[in-house]
Amino acid sequence: RTKERRCGVKRVWKQDTMPQEVDVLKISNDDAAFILGKSGRTKEKIARVSGAELDLFEQSLTLEIRGSEAERRRAKKYVECVMAQRVGPVTIDDDSEDDDLTVIQVPTEAVGFVTGSQGNFLRQVEEEWGTLMFFADFRGRGSGREGQTEKLAIFGPRRGRRGAQLKVMAAVETKVPNYFTGDSKPDEDDDQDEWGTKTLVLKPDELSYALGKDGTTRRKLARASGCIMEYVGQVAFICGTMEERVRARTYLKWLLKQRHGSVYVDDLKDRDDVTVVPVPRDAIGYVTGNRGQSLRMVEEESGTFCFVEGGRGESEQLLIFGSVRADREVAERLINNLVNEKMREDNDRRRYDDRDYGRGGDRYDDRRRDDSRDRYGDRGDRRREDSRDRDYRRRSPSRDRYRRRDDSRDRDYRRRDDSRGRRDDSRDRYDDRRR
């Protein structure tokens, strides 16, 4: 193989691996840039959805596709659809034998909302569910409010296609209310099929509680049950196997019961999706946290559904539900860590109290006596100083009286001097006249 710059992940061939068949496509320079996409994301997306491996060579402008026959066929179809988007509308062949296509009718007034700014909403749905999505070229009459619709093609595995389809349906329902749920019947279920859909109509207050902030509660229930769960308008769509649908409905029922009181699980011993963790009563508040924040963090990190069962006698037990045992083990470890933190804090507090009131009691008493002496000594000093001040203030008025007496004496002396001076002056004037 000639050395060329290859836009993709370098393959490492093992000696015991038989080389796979390769399909080579000649592409143009513009097609190469379009297939590669920003930072190679489009090529990676095609490879992930088809299951094949793609290598793009820029110098020879060739695209190599490796994999099984079905994987290569799907990859070639996806590549052709992506290249067709560059020059014009995409034509979909509904007669394909790959069984990898779901088509959803989107009303024209909701197309821009579903696409999002620069296609961001569709790209997010593709990343979340591992699908490839784009609008096809044909238009027709549908059940939309204004009659005109566009077909949105969703390529990928069945579970991913169904999750992406429900995501788009929820977005359309936001823009055009009752477009998909207007004719829905409550509590529909595909009981005859192993893979099917269950629908439940929720009340407005139930919907907000089951949705949670930014959809965290809905995602928690979906991940714990292993089921696809999406709210389209007021209707909850639950998709998956029969076991997954039953588990998701049960989790949702328990969640809604928590709004009004404690929840009791009658068939706890017969369930294989639960782990019971005993929690001391004085640690329950610490484990759940303020408004359940600590427990919500455990659920978010482990992908489980947790709650404290209603008190039965002296026992307090926290229930961890989840379809995957490894996830429940993660949640159990996190909860035990919270319990241990609480117990360590209590033990530290007890040791501190024992140090003050136990063996260190004599020293503590001595300190208290010293402190009391200091306080009482200071108080006595202050009392003595206050008494001295009061005595001084009492003596001060008498001293003022003596001052007033001295002042009066001085005034008397000054009057006498003045009178003597006036007498002398009069005598002098009289003597002068006689002379």
For the chain (435 residues), the mean pLDDT of every run of 10, in chain order, is 40 48 90 88 93 90 92 92 83 73 92 91 94 74 57 93 96 93 62 81 93 92 96 94 94 92 88 93 89 92 91 74 96 94 82 60 50 52 60 56 60 63 56 52
Residues shown for the chain: 435
Task: Retrieve residue 47's tokens.
Answer: 């490879």
Give the integer Cα–Cα distance in Å for 173 and 235. 11
Query: If you compute the radius of gyration of the chain from its CA atoms, what whole number of angstroms results?
Result: 45
pLDDT of residue 13: 42
Nearest to 288 by CA among 344, 335, 325: 335
For helices 29-36 and 69-87, what crossing angle results, to 10°? 110
Task: Retrieve residue 313's tokens.
Answer: 């006698």
Task: Retrieve residue 56's tokens.
Answer: 């793009």
Give the integer Cα–Cα distance in Å for 331 and 216. 17
Task: Retrieve residue 270's tokens.
Answer: 């017969």
- In one-letter notation, the amino acid at residue 221 is L
Nearest to 136 by CA among 147, 121, 152, 148: 152
> Whole-model pTM above 0.75?
no
Task: Mark residue 178 as left, alpha or beta (left: phi above 0; alpha: psi -120 to 50; beta: remaining).
Answer: left
Task: Retrieve residue 299's tokens.
Answer: 């659920």
CB contact burial 72-102 (16+ within 10 A = b; e otherwise): bbbbbbbbebbbeeeeeebebeeeeeeebbb
Residues 6+ apart with CB under 8 A from 239: 162, 163, 166, 195, 196, 197, 198, 227, 228, 229, 245
pLDDT of residue 359: 54
Task: Retrieve residue 377's tokens.
Answer: 């000594």
